[in-house]
Amino acid sequence: MTELNKIARALVAPNKGILAADESTGTIGKRFAKINVENIEENRRAYRELLFTTLNINEYISGAIMYDETIRQRAGNGETFVAVLEKQNILPGIKVDEGTEPMADSPDEVIAKGLENLPARLPEYVKMGAKFCKWRGVIKIGDNIPTSNCIQINAERLAKYAELCQENNLVPMLEPEVLMDGNHTIEKCFEITKNVLKVVFVELQKVEVDLSGIILKPNMVISGSDCSEQASAKQVAEMTVKCLKETVPEDVGGITFLSGGQSEKQACETLNEINKLSADCPWALSFSYGRALQTSTLKTWGGKVENFKEAQETFLKQAKLASLAREGNL
C-alpha cells in the first residue's frame, strides 16, 4: 500500500467523513450575513476554532479541508490549526483551486482557475502540514449547457491538478460538481454526471495518476432544485450508485459526496440510502460536507462567545448523524 493510498483510506475510514471548512472569504461572508456576524478575519478564525476544537469530533471526522487563510491561522492558545487538527488525529487538507472564471466562448459556463501557480504553492502547503488537497470543477445544467468543451477543460484541469498533487505526496480530492441549481430532472442529472465522470477518468488515466491515491468528491445524482418533481432519497441513492458503478474504476481510493445545497436532514437521508446499497461497491461511500454539517452550528453560535460550547455540541450531534448515515444506520 502506498503512502497516498494510506491517507486516502484514512480519509474514508469507517464511521468517518470529511469536514469541508474551506469556504472562501466571500462565501463564508454570505453564511455570516444570515446570522448577522461581521465578515472579518477574527470572526472567521474564531468560527473555525470552534469547529476544529470540538471534543471527540475525531470519532466522526477524518479530515478537514481548509481555505488558504485558515491553514495560516492559529487557535487562541497559539497553536496552528494544522496542529490542532493533528492532535485530534484529523488529517489537514487545503482547497487549492482559486475559484472559477467564465469560459471565453461560453460565458454562462465556468472553468476552475489556479493551475498556473499551483506548482509553487503545493510545496508550501506540504511544509505547513497538509496531507490532501481539493480542486472543484463546476458544471452547470441549463439551456444548451454543459458543452462538451466545458466538461473537457474542467476534466483536463482536474487531471493536471491531481498529477501535481501526487508529485508532492499530497492526496488529490477531485470535485467535479454538477450543480443542482436549475429545473432539470434527476434523469438529466444522471446523464450529465455520467458523462462528466467518464471524461474525468479518461484524463486521469492519460497522465497516469495513481487512482488508489485519490478521493473522488462527486455530486449525488439528484433532481434540480427547481424541478417540479423531486426524486425521493431512495431514487437518488439508486441512480447515484448506478452512475458510479458505470463510471468509476474499482481502484479509486474512496468516494466522499458533496452535499451540494441539500439541507442537513436531506444530505443525511440521501447518504443513508446510498450506503444501504453499498454492499457490493468496491469503494467506501462517505461524505465531505460543508453546509450540511455547519448550518445548525452557525445558527447556534451566532458570533457570540457565550454560545461557543453549545455550538460545539450542535456540531458534534450533526457530525454523528452524518456518521450514522455513512454506515447506512441512520
pLDDT at 175: 98
Q: pLDDT digit string (tens) for 80-110?
A: 999 999 999 999 999 999 999 999 999 899 9
**pLDDT bucket at 291, cuts 50 / 70 / 90:** very high
User: Mean pLDDT over all residues of the chain?
Assistant: 97
The mean per-residue pLDDT over the stretch 221-238 comes to 94
Q: pLDDT digit string (tens) for 209-225?
A: 999 999 999 999 999 99
- Kindly list the structural domains of the chain, giving each domain's residue range(s) and its CATH number in brackets, ordered by start: 3-326 (3.20.20.70)
Q: pLDDT digit string (tens) for 133-160?
A: 999 999 999 999 999 999 999 999 999 9
Residues annotated as catalytic are 175, 217
At position 125, the amino acid (one-letter code) is: Y
**pLDDT bucket at 261, cuts 50 / 70 / 90:** confident
